[in-house]
Structure 1
């Protein structure tokens, strides 16, 4: 009696996939290899390449696909299969991506039931990893972590604790923790993954570079740039040594390094790395690949940070066009591009262009991710910020609140993004004069940031700066000063003494000293802030205009109009050139110049500047914005100074109406308007009208600011 043959003929082949190979429907190159198989036989097939991401397919005697594996787009892939029938089988070795080429080694050998079971367990782990990714993309982070932990446990049982695939699972788990802001759980997993790869693969393996990169990103997220930089640099060195100078992974490393330098305000180091990364991607992937869009997006963001909107806009637009063409108009990366374009337009004061892009980005995210994903919160936050800038607080508030609710539900109550939402809500309440609502939100945001990011993170400095500003608004300089000083110390320590954020802290401190009449302390801080901004951002950046405006205001307060005037004029010129002639910042500069001329009694020069500032604000911000009320107040005061009460009165009245509608009837700005109206009536000898306005202004100030605030003293006087 004949015995059925269950052993196949084992074989190893070395071949190459390139332009001369078969091209599959998906565009990948392929080669077909055959073997004679037998029912019940267990075969172990391996495809390895150092040059392309491998994809392996097994086709049965009937021509149907039996199994396939791409091993998550890696350069080694394996199949262990129990053959269903006798006959000729076909192994298809192919590249995962279009245009990939290179040598490969393909082998098949007989295997065992135990190996098949082990392979199936590992396949289960791979499926669990994919489930974890799917859960993450749906915003179900806690569930994703539980599934990723199960995948790790299966792999450790099947492969042992030190197999390279264990490092992959550890990296995935660490990334999930990192995304939730849980850096304490992420760090040891990234470190263990790195140790495994160094031991198993050698210190110069590309997998080691990937681990170093992950660790560097974690440190960068924590604001620990000193730890991030050497890891990024070592990752780049490994990739250049093993992959050559023009591999796409080199571009990834360059992008990461550039982003680190950008975060530090070191734009001179960031720019050439972004440009080299883009050149590599274009040379290796073609000009319309999604990775090109990512590089363009990064370059655009750098130019935007530098205030170079003319260079940023076409890159953002090209990135969007590539993504729409390559990925489709409803892809999440398209939403990211729309969001960035909207932010650019918003920064230029072009709110009409920003709004529809924010709205389309939100619609894409809601359709793809559902209504409660953290990315929805990001879109809502951006929309709210736009409404906030427009003074439309009624539209901003519910979006800020919904963003906060989504983040608390999906990320937990102590995530850094929750702190961001609380911070934005607090700022909105502060603008409305609702200090009792603002303070606990600022304080909770600070507590979250200190707990999750550490006490010396730049975001902690942001919280401290905002808290100080709130206290300053309330005239509580004793509480404001130490917070401004701590924010400055953090920024100098983490970002370096010449970072633009250091200039911001110096400006804030100087304003505080100026408000206290301490000009000797204010001046050197304003001057240092200006020097930093010019050195870091260039002499024509909008932040330089801000510093010049501040310096000019200080000189004006001292009655030194000769020093103030050229600074105001230079600030105006910078704002017009960088932002366009109808930007709200231009209105601010015009307003400042007009105030200077008014202080000199030069009403002829003051009037047209006040009028142009008002026109810009009405056009860009809308007729009901608080800044429009400020312009009306200034114009009214000018007319009052000239004794033209007929022109002054309706402007004071309209300003009061705007403030009450936009900010509520108990806001300090309403008190200021009432005070102005009362002063007008007093100048006219109409004391019966003046007194109730003064009294109401005093009551508002005492309630909103406390009885010891300087504005209360002004009302009493």
Structure 2
């Protein structure tokens, strides 16, 4: 599920409408643009001259904006991570290409709104249109196209179309690696989201397929954790989020002691980084409650679920899907 941020999505997540937008007025342009910062040197060769000019000011300041974000994981949801997005406001377009960019920006915002309304089928359809538009504007070897694929994957995962989500993520990761490199936050985000999808798919599978999906997730999570620790540090909430997912996968693969350790330590990292009033803290607590529940430690799980429920109710209200999800977890325990 998208969690508290909005789109990635910034986060990631709470991403579920937790996305942070930054605006930069481009000199000599009649458009306002938003985009998630990427490594200019690595991406330079892949951008058309026009694209380079469009993003130049943003690269120079190395600022980051997050469009879709995600993360909530009980038995999953989105791992709130960043995705590249483009946002432009119309001030009098001079070219058909600029008009298409505005159309893309409007559709991206519509996807965000539809998700918030829990209108997932329409959100998926609109996100698919964004993928096609991004391809026609920027081409398929461009971070905006990769970001559009990432957003579509998040939604496909949300509706349970795991095969499509895995395909979308795999394409997105390939583009990110080619354009901005392996050790980049956006690449790590897409890899983390794919790992989450493998795990969620594994949760709903049986036999050897279940085991293999968990192994696929485990391989990716080890890589993501290493990259995030290097880029963001061990105290980053995204590092903590990856630790929690890794812990759950390790547990299901039989390494229960190490798995539980990662889930609990990941929660501590997240809470220390974001505080006790942030939706990511609620997600971390919910994850701990879920983990303790599957261990059969119902009395220990209850207070974690209660903390998560109380904060989500405060932040989102009693009728929000994430509040209802935790409430259902509580009902099962009581």
TM-score (normalizing by structure 1): 0.33
Q: Following the alignment from structure 2 to structure 1, what is the Cα–Cα distance between the partners of residues 307 and 315?
A: 12
- What is aligned with 1:332? 237
Q: Following the alignment from structure 2 to structure 1, what is the Cα–Cα distance between the partners of residues 92 and 194?
A: 37
Residues 1:200 and 1:361: Cα distance change in structure 2 (over 3 Å):
farther
Of 268, 278, 284, 1:379 maps to 284
Residues 1:395 and 1:243: Cα distance change in structure 2 (over 3 Å):
same
Structure ranking higher in strand proportion: 1
SS at match of 1:422: helix
- What is aligned with 2:327? 422
Q: Following the alignment from structure 1 to structure 2, what is the Cα–Cα distance between the partners of residues 252 and 264?
A: 19
Of 240, 254, 257, 2:149 maps to 254
Residues 384-424 of structure 1, C-alpha deviations (whole Å, 9 max, x = no match): 22222222222112222222222233333443322222111
- What is aligned with 1:412? 317
Of 224, 235, 243, 2:119 maps to 224
User: Which one has the largest radius of gyration?
Assistant: 1
Q: Where in structure 2 are there 5+ consecutive unaligned residues?
A: 1-20, 29-36, 55-62, 73-86, 203-209
The CA deviation at 1:337 is 0.9
Of 300, 305, 312, 2:195 maps to 300
Q: Following the alignment from structure 1 to structure 2, what is the Cα–Cα distance between the partners of residues 243 and 405?
A: 44
- What is aligned with 1:342? 247
Residues 348-407 of structure 1, C-alpha deviations (whole Å, 9 max, x = no match): 454322222122222222222223322222211211222222222221122222222222
Q: Following the alignment from structure 2 to structure 1, what is the Cα–Cα distance between the partners of residues 291 and 166?
A: 29
- What is aligned with 2:223? 318
Q: Following the alignment from structure 1 to structure 2, what is the Cα–Cα distance between the partners of residues 320 and 77?
A: 38
Q: Following the alignment from structure 1 to structure 2, what is the Cα–Cα distance between the partners of residues 75 and 284?
A: 25
SS at match of 1:205: helix
Of 183, 190, 205, 2:100 maps to 205
The CA deviation at 1:97 is 4.4
Of 116, 122, 136, 1:241 maps to 136
Q: Following the alignment from structure 2 to structure 1, what is the Cα–Cα distance between the partners of residues 286 and 215?
A: 26
Residues 1:236 and 1:199: Cα distance change in structure 2 (over 3 Å):
farther
Residues 1:388 and 1:420: Cα distance change in structure 2 (over 3 Å):
same
Residues 1:404 and 1:249: Cα distance change in structure 2 (over 3 Å):
same
- What is aligned with 2:298? 393
The CA deviation at 1:195 is 11
- What is aligned with 1:34? none
Q: Following the alignment from structure 2 to structure 1, what is the Cα–Cα distance between the partners of residues 188 and 226?
A: 8
SS at match of 2:182: coil
- What is aligned with 1:539? none
Q: Following the alignment from structure 1 to structure 2, what is the Cα–Cα distance between the partners of residues 383 and 339?
A: 8
Residues 1:292 and 1:97: Cα distance change in structure 2 (over 3 Å):
closer
Of 145, 165, 168, 1:273 maps to 168
The CA deviation at 1:250 is 0.6
- What is aligned with 2:81? none
The CA deviation at 1:285 is 0.3
CA contact 1:204–1:242 (8 Å) conserved in 2: no
| Count of equivalent residues | 265
Residues 260-296 of structure 1, C-alpha deviations (whole Å, 9 max, x = no match): 3333333333333221111100010011111111121
Q: Following the alignment from structure 1 to structure 2, what is the Cα–Cα distance between the partners of residues 200 and 348?
A: 55
Q: Following the alignment from structure 1 to structure 2, what is the Cα–Cα distance between the partners of residues 411 and 424?
A: 17
SS at match of 2:183: coil
Residues 1:209 and 1:403: Cα distance change in structure 2 (over 3 Å):
same
The CA deviation at 1:344 is 1.9
Q: Following the alignment from structure 1 to structure 2, what is the Cα–Cα distance between the partners of residues 412 and 77?
A: 42
Which 4+ residue blocks in structure 1 deviate beyond 6 angstroms? 103-106
Q: Which has the higher contact order (CA 8 A, sep 6+)?
A: 2
Aligned CA-pair RMSD: 3.7
